[in-house]
Amino acid sequence: MRMKTLLSVAMLLLLAMVLVACGGGDSEGETDSDSGNEEGAASEGGDSPEFLNLLTGGTSGTYYPLGGEMATIISDETGIQTDAQSSNASADNVIAVQEGDAELAFVQTDVMANAAEGTNAFEGNVVDNVLGLGSLYPETIQIVTSADSGITSVEDLAGKTVSVGAPGSGTYINAEQILEIHGMTMDDIEAQNLDFGESTGGIQDGNIDAAFITAGTPTGAVEGLGATTDVRIVPIAQDKIDALVEQYPYYAADTIPAGTYGGIDEEINTVAVLAMIVVTDSLSEDVVYDITKALYDNVDSITHAKGELITKESALDGIGIDLHPGAEKYFKEEGLLE
């Protein structure tokens, strides 16, 4: 009996030692693992997604080819695979980022201001989860027609068939506001909702008379038209430019240089808004910091003509919404924000 008792005690002691040993091993391994995870998170800048979608615009505009180069820069510099996708541009891009269908997007500054305020195309839908990353370059409002159309002023558009872009798009709002400054509305023209490629194709085929195109110059679709047709860009009179800028401060006077397109042999006075990149607020500060730094530290590698106009020094121009904390951190480090 005594022997059985001693044996039982010995077994219990042995079991206890085994459990303690196992527990100690697990505890030590857990601590090492946790430390490793923390160090990994710090080096990676927080939770990094594997993929990012960058929404651009139509394939015949400026956003798409430029966005392709920027997606490559982000992929190479951050290690996050980033794909540029064609889209219907500004207004649709804002909605897609708002609804979580994309993380990054090209947008006009005026459209993003409307979204943040819940005005125009965003009436009753204040967008508060889409933040600024940085502005890029002026987007020129080009009223394109053929040299033999007889259209030489905005007022001449009355009664003509004119492409104004998709309803709610940046181009559509630009057209609406420019017509307004000239005492006109969409009812004064035969409005067509075409993309840039369809617009210039329509001018070439004689199906439409003119088109509003808001994009960086030179715009691929207009260059394509200029290869077969003498192009005319309708100027905006200085007093109308001044009135537009006073009423809508996100516009700025702009000039299309002579020779930009075939048939244009003198400067054309018009107006511009700015292109910018927006980002979802669901991305971490560190991830957006890395994206911002990747883009603005590597603008010299952009081969698209608009790359010459993109600088970190001008990256805050025209932004009327809050910056993402990651972008804010970058610009503060660069001495561009207090």
Q: DSSP string spanning 43-71? A: HHTSS--SEEEEE---TTSSHHHHHHHHH
**CA-to-CA distance for 240 and 21, rounded, in angstroms?**
84
The first and second tokens of residue 255, run together, are 């000039």
Which pLDDT belongs to residue 275?
94
Superfamily of domain 139-271: Periplasmic binding protein-like II (3.40.190.10)
Element (H, E) at 39: helix 2-44
Count CB atoms within 10 A of the CB of residue 193: 15
Tell the CATH topology of 51-137+274-333: D-Maltodextrin-Binding Protein; domain 2 (3.40.190)
Where in the chain is CATH 3.40.190.10? 51-137+274-333, 139-271
Of 212, 222, 219, 214, residue with least CA distance to 192:
212
Contact in structure between 166 and 298 (CB atoms under 8 Å): no
- For the entire predicted model, the pTM comes to 0.72
Q: pLDDT tens digit string along 254-293?
A: 999 999 987 788 999 999 999 999 999 999 999 999 999 9
Q: pLDDT tens digit string along 11-35?
A: 444 444 433 344 443 333 332 333 3
Which pLDDT belongs to residue 159?
98
Name, in order, each residue with C-beta under 8 angstroms of 277's C-beta and a sequence gap of 6 or more: 70, 104, 105, 106, 107, 132, 133, 134, 135, 136, 295
Task: Write out the chain's pLDDT in tens, 338 residues.
Answer: 444 444 444 444 444 443 334 444 333 333 233 333 333 332 334 578 999 999 998 887 889 999 999 999 999 999 999 999 999 878 899 999 999 999 999 998 999 999 999 988 899 999 999 999 999 998 999 999 999 999 999 999 999 999 999 877 889 989 999 999 999 999 999 999 998 999 999 999 999 999 999 988 888 899 999 999 999 999 999 999 999 988 887 888 899 999 998 778 899 999 999 999 999 999 999 999 999 999 999 999 999 988 999 999 999 988 889 999 999 999 999 999 98
